[in-house]
Amino acid sequence: MIKLSTLIALLLMSAFSALNAAAYKGQKIYVETCKDCHGGGQALAGAKNTRTWEKIMDKKGEQLADIHLSSKKAQASWEYFGDKKFTKDSKHLEDFLTEYAKDSGNVPACN
């Protein structure tokens, strides 16, 4: 019985950790999709404080997508922001942006 309980607990813990977003995943997504236009992550993430990034990334990044989709300068990114991949990536991007926000005191290493 103890072995079964331990196994169940370990399985639940691993399942929950897999569902959580992570700043390192967001950093990877940033490098792959955003770096060409926005440069290093420190400049972009450090441009706003944590609360502002949380507000922009609310509702699966809807406001961030709207900013890009309404800008002619961001036309290269329209396909990405209009795709479901962005909504899937948005939690990871939010974690990255808030982890390295202006008021966080952290500096990303993706420059």
Q: What is the pLDDT of residues 78-91, one digit of tens each?
A: 999 999 999 999 99
**Given this model, what pLDDT does residue 17 score?**
46
**Given this model, what pLDDT does residue 9 score?**
66
The first and second tokens of residue 110, run together, are 């993706």
d(C-alpha 80, C-alpha 87), whole Å = 10
Look at residue 53 and tell me whether its pLDDT is greater than 90.
yes
The conformation of residue 103, written as its DSSP 8-state character, comes to T
Q: What's the predicted TM-score (pTM) here?
A: 0.74
Q: What is the rounded radius of gyration, in angstroms, for the C-alpha atoms of the chain? A: 17
**Given this model, what pLDDT does residue 21 score?**
63
**Given this model, what pLDDT does residue 57 score?**
94
Residues sharing a CB contact under 8 Å with residue 101, sequence separation 6 or more, in sequence order? 45, 46, 48, 49, 50, 52, 53
**Given this model, what pLDDT does residue 3 score?**
73
Distances (CA, A) of 87 to 34, 39, 65: 15, 22, 9
> Each residue of 14-40: pLDDT tens digit?
544 444 568 899 999 999 999 988 888
Averaged pLDDT, 94-100: 93
